[in-house]
Chain A
Amino acid sequence: MAVKVIIPTPLRPYAGKRDSVNLEAATVGEALNSLTSQFGELRKHLYSEDGRLRSFVNVYVNDEDIRYLQRDKTAVQPGDTISIVPSIAGGARA
């Protein structure tokens, strides 16, 4: 059984319009690497040029923020859900 990565609406155009992707990985870093090698366009949206996860993109394993776990090295178990949650600003005005 694989790990499920949930793709947020704003990033779906760069992930073949998929809302989630199942893949094999042992850590969050591996999962995101595998995801961005499958969908190259996603990389610049997730990582800055120096290879760090962008500060307006949060990644969760199940309901926990990886910043408070072991970040990229956070281990994942089969059946875990990884969520990518970018900041969105929509609200008032057209």
Chain B
Amino acid sequence: MATQTKNGAVATAADAKTLSNQEVLRYSRHLIMPEVGMDGQLKLKQAKVLMIGSGGLGAPLGLYLAAAGVGRLGIVDFDAVDFTNLQRQVVFGTSDVGRKKLEAARERLQNLNPEIRIDTFETKLTSENALDILRDYDIVVDGTDNFPTRYLVNDACVLLGKPNVYGSIFRFEGQASIFGYPGGPCYRCLYPEPPPPGLVPSCAEGGVLGVLPGIIGCIQAMETLKLILGKGEPLVGRLLLFDALGLRFRELKLRKNPDCPICGEHRTIHKLIDYVEFCGMRGEETPATIASAMPEITPKQLKSRLDRGDDVFILDVREPHEYQICNLRGHLIPLGELPKRVSELDSSLEIVAHCRSGKRSGEAVEFLMKAGFRKIMNLKGGILAWSDEVDPSVPKY
């Protein structure tokens, strides 16, 4: 079957064994390197790589894999581009805001390299569809943002015997490794279980320096190319840690766990499981123990109490740099400092604690209740909800 590509070259399925003149020119900086050469470039052309997620890590990954001439690139994502993505997801432009990420990414990558085939899967990766989606690819690159999908990708790769190029980021810190490589460890060997929800702050809460996913995503792209080319020393059995603030790379030994439930000798997991449940995230928004006892006030209720002139003390538990973005003129005590600054609060006053979304202030309310405060409430939905429901002039971030 012949297809006309954008630059006028005619590519056919049989052409996977040769390069057109156009391709020779395009890949000439690869071809003149003995480590890649014609053989290597043809390996890249025949390679099939699946990217899970086209966000911070997926953006540089997609760009470099497409540019390098990986013949078939699959992308799984179901999100739309929003303004907060543009700070780091460099595959998208301002005019893409509101569009489906897959559509925008396909357009950009296909424009970068019309010679490759791009498959898009507009879906959340689930236990039901993962094996079918992954099966057709040689290598899977994990760039997701949540634990259920991380464990799902790991298990699916182990069950299918496919290498999983892993990358993860938090604020200024990144991790990378290759899991599921024959004889090598898997993600469960490194971390048998996920943290309970709420204990580790998410990216949306913790923030991330925009260049960091670029660096980690590029390491994933490099390792993917090396696996395809069969060159160099792959990042197998090693966990790479990157600290951007100290600009330090460190490497830790990563061993295959003989008791690993999915890749060990006596494995107990033989098929995909319910990962949302595994990660303790059923009803994740309101953990039962906290929600049942959490006294709350809505932004509208708070507004009318303030308008009435009620004496309500507003406690802002965000960080000082967030206070600078916007505030409700509350008293600022960052959540982490609350235990040692609790004496600044008067327990006889009515206190409303707030943060950005209501999560950290929920922890603050819980802490203060344990400390004996009785007249304390959480502002439901935080300053984001205040902006939506009371005062749209307060910026959302």
Contacts and interface: CB of A to CB of B under 8 A. Distances in A.
A26 B290 CA distance: 39
Given A65-B255, A85-B239, A94 B193 contact: no
A10 B200 contact: yes
Contact of B145 (A9, A13, A90): A90
A91 B169 CA distance: 6
A55, A68, A85 interface centre (most CB from chain B within 10 Å): A85
Interface string B234-258: 0000010101011000111111010
A89 B146 contact: yes
B313 interface: no
B246 to A, nearest CB: 7
A89 B275 CA distance: 14
B208 A92 contact: no
B195 A9 contact: no
A92 B56 contact: yes
B112 to A, nearest CB: 19
Contacts of B167: 91
Interface in A30-58: 40-41, 45, 54-56, 58
B192 interface: yes
A26 to B, nearest CB: 22
A63 B252 contact: yes
Given A55-B191, A88-B200, A10 B206 contact: yes
A62 B169 CA distance: 22
Given A19-B246, A63-B251, A85-B241, A92 B145 contact: yes
A8 interface: yes
A17 B167 CA distance: 25
B160 interface: no
A85 B192 CA distance: 13
A11 B52 CA distance: 27
Contacts of B204: 94
27 contacts: A10-B170, A10-B201, A17-B336, A41-B336, A54-B195, A55-B191, A56-B195, A56-B200, A63-B251, A64-B252, A64-B253, A65-B253, A83-B252, A88-B170, A88-B175, A90-B56, A90-B203, A91-B55, A91-B142, A91-B145, A91-B167, A91-B213, A92-B79, A92-B143, A92-B145, A93-B144, A94-B85
B97 interface: no
B295 to A, nearest CB: 23
Chain A interface helix/strand/loop/mixed: mixed
A91 B82 contact: no
A83 B145 contact: no
Contacts of A63: 250-253
A19 B213 CA distance: 21
Interface residues of A, number: 31
Interface of A: 8-10, 13-14, 17, 19, 40-41, 45, 54-56, 58, 60, 63-65, 67-68, 83, 85-94
A75 B217 CA distance: 36
A94 B208 CA distance: 10
Nearest to A44: B199
A52 B204 CA distance: 29
A67, A89, A91, A94 interface centre (most CB from chain B within 10 Å): A91
A13 B255 contact: no
B163 interface: no
A41 to B, nearest CB: 7
A65 B252 contact: yes
A83 B251 CA distance: 11
B52 to A, nearest CB: 8
A9 B317 CA distance: 19
Contact of B168 (A41, A65, A83, A89): A89
Given A56-B191, A83-B250, A86-B200, A93 B150 contact: no
Interface in B126-155: 142-147, 150
Contacts of B246: 19
B252 A93 contact: no
A66 to B, nearest CB: 11
A56 B56 CA distance: 23
Contacts of A19: 243, 245-246
A52 B250 CA distance: 26
A91 B147 contact: no
B192 A55 contact: yes
A65 B191 CA distance: 12
B172 interface: yes
A94 B253 CA distance: 31
- The 9 closest A-B CB pairs, nearest first, are A92-B55, A92-B53, A90-B203, A13-B336, A88-B170, A55-B193, A9-B173, A56-B195, A87-B191
